[in-house]
Chain A
């Protein structure tokens, strides 16, 4: 509140009420998803039939718990695999891009920077289909001309990783580049004066400085990959990642096991994101 301006109590309390309604609106869907994970019923809806852990641990049909539902836990494993591959690729390229845009000077840099941002304006669905079209065109060409069938270019996990890598790289680059921009070059010069080679200086001084941003970018990349739906939907083959499995289940009619998966997903992402938030927050105020 700006202290020097007289504002009526009505003005203040109407803001408070508005904020309360707003945050109820924001949290309501998440809360119901969490609560109905524990409902002892076949449907994630009222009436409340009592508290149960069955949707986590039960090994009997029809209330098959998450930990006994192979389709679900296999798709979680698939998502882990995809997210790990995407993160490694995206973060590696992001560090590379950060050095390119923050350190090098060359003609056409600003144009290249704009092009690098392009994936942010391409809707996920379009990015997915365009990669699908291109890889299929290449695969068809090889098939027609040389009669070689390249399995990797057909819809499947490789294409999913490629599709996610295409846009997550941009986000990681922005995070790492922002950190590199605030780096004091004289630190690296000091290392050079003390006899280090350029590469040694970067490895011992610059990379440790970048580490919080690299970890942050990795966490965000992992979360975005794990939760991606639009791009993945267009490129997926027979092995479906978690979001695709959940979507299929939702269309068939959801049981509370979906709530259990969602609850675990929420907890994991909130813990990861909060950890990252406070870690990076503390680091940046300490420096």
Chain B
């Protein structure tokens, strides 16, 4: 690594000292593990404790409908969860950014943050207390005479979706709110002055302005949802069929590390692909979206 400008030795030494810890961390804990995973995923068992390179783990994935369907299902549900999160978050962000002033604004924004300081486990547990057969909502519905017997709300796709949207909300509301705040009110006024109505102002002024935040929010939410493990497991139970669960099963329960690695590589690839596509479509840089 060469240094621009003055290249005296103490500076070089200093740079080296700063670089070493970062490189050690990056190579040993981030890059090498992923490469090891890729390497293991390409090995197939030919005899006990004897492995050869081959694609059988990936072929297994494409020929076994269970794996393949779980993967598709996870991706589709993540996309739906992302869209739902965006639709639910947008009015709230608009309300906080444009319709509130002063203390109320700060207060509501902090309220949005509170659930995310709490462990995901605790939040999901809260939903279980609310939604299970003997839970609060079921008891309430019986109390007001809406139903005769208890209702089980857990272990359905709708519940998983609810949990996913809930745990993603912050990552949509925060970027949206800060971007909408930076939209000058006079632009909206000008839109109305020029004869626009609520809908056309929304579509031609507010949405284009918020687009960078929409894209980065969607990317982050999609990524987190795809890699989520707790919410689908606890709210979906045995029928959750989530891909990360499949990875866990291969590694920990079935001890088939080659197959598990192949799944890991696939999940990482689709996740990176979607992030890359999102960035390309919106012409944003990875560094900017992430920070």
Q: At the interface, yes or no: B82 with Cβ under 8 Å from chain A?
A: no
Q: At the interface, yes or no: A282 with Cβ under 8 Å from chain B?
A: no
Contacts of A265 in B (CB 8 A): 118-119, 122
| Shortest distance from the beta carbon of B253 to any chain A beta carbon, whole Å | 12
Q: At the interface, yes or no: B91 with Cβ under 8 Å from chain A?
A: yes
| Shortest distance from the beta carbon of B180 to any chain A beta carbon, whole Å | 12
Contact B125 A33 (CB under 8 A): yes
Contacts of A27 in B (CB 8 A): 111, 114-115
Given the contacts A129-B37, A134-B33, A117 and B287 also touching, CB distance less than 8 Å: yes
Task: Please give the number of chain B residues whose Cβ is less than 8 angstroms from any Cβ of chain A in the complex.
Answer: 88
Contacts of A129 in B (CB 8 A): 37, 247, 251, 260-261, 264
Q: At the interface, yes or no: A146 with Cβ under 8 Å from chain B?
A: no
Q: At the interface, yes or no: B155 with Cβ under 8 Å from chain A?
A: no
Contact B108 A19 (CB under 8 A): yes
Contact B185 A19 (CB under 8 A): no
Contact A114 B287 (CB under 8 A): yes
| Shortest distance from the beta carbon of A172 to any chain B beta carbon, whole Å | 12
Contact A45 B129 (CB under 8 A): yes
Contact A130 B108 (CB under 8 A): no
1/0 per residue, CB under 8 A from B, across A1-31: the answer is: 1101100000110010011001101111111
Q: Which of B20-28, B53-61, B207-215 contacts A (4 or more CB under 8 A)?
A: B20-28
**B24, closest chain A residue (CB):** A93
**A124, closest chain B residue (CB):** B227
B binding-site residues for A, Cβ under 8 Å: 1-5, 14-15, 18-19, 21-22, 25-26, 29-34, 36-37, 40, 88, 91-92, 94-95, 98-99, 101, 108, 110-115, 117-130, 132, 134-136, 139-140, 166, 169, 185, 188-189, 192, 198, 223, 226-227, 229-230, 234, 244, 247-248, 251-252, 257, 260-261, 264, 267-268, 271-272, 275, 286-287, 290-291
- Bound: A99/B88 CA distance, A: 40
Contact B2 A107 (CB under 8 A): yes
Given the contacts A30-B123, A121-B272, A2 and B230 also touching, CB distance less than 8 Å: no
Contacts of B26 in A (CB 8 A): 112, 115-116, 118
Contact B30 A118 (CB under 8 A): yes
1/0 per residue, CB under 8 A from B, across A113-139: the answer is: 111111111111111011111100100
| Shortest distance from the beta carbon of A230 to any chain B beta carbon, whole Å | 5
Q: At the interface, yes or no: A36 with Cβ under 8 Å from chain B?
A: yes
- Bound: A81/B112 CA distance, A: 30
Contact B2 A106 (CB under 8 A): yes
Contact B267 A126 (CB under 8 A): yes
- Bound: A30/B128 CA distance, A: 11
| Shortest distance from the beta carbon of A16 to any chain B beta carbon, whole Å | 8
Contact A29 B127 (CB under 8 A): yes
Given the contacts A131-B33, A133-B37, A269-B118, A30 and B126 also touching, CB distance less than 8 Å: yes
- Bound: A259/B122 CA distance, A: 8
Listed residue (B29, B124, B135, B251) with the most chain A CB atoms within 10 angstroms of its CB: B29
Contact B287 A133 (CB under 8 A): no
1/0 per residue, CB under 8 A from B, across A25-52: the answer is: 1111111110010000001111100000
Contact A125 B227 (CB under 8 A): yes
Q: Which of A53-61, A184-192, A246-254 contacts B (4 or more CB under 8 A)?
A: A246-254
Contacts of B185 in A (CB 8 A): 2, 4
Q: At the interface, yes or no: A240 with Cβ under 8 Å from chain B?
A: no
Contact A47 B139 (CB under 8 A): yes
Contacts of B223 in A (CB 8 A): 121, 123
- Bound: A107/B15 CA distance, A: 12
In-complex Cβ contact of A46 among B22, B118, B139, B234 (8 A): B139
| Shortest distance from the beta carbon of B113 to any chain A beta carbon, whole Å | 7
Contacts of A272 in B (CB 8 A): 117
Closest 10 CB pairs of A and B: A123-B227, A29-B126, A130-B33, A227-B119, A166-B29, A46-B139, A100-B18, A273-B117, A262-B122, A134-B36
Contacts of A274 in B (CB 8 A): 110
Contact A254 B125 (CB under 8 A): yes
**B191, closest chain A residue (CB):** A5
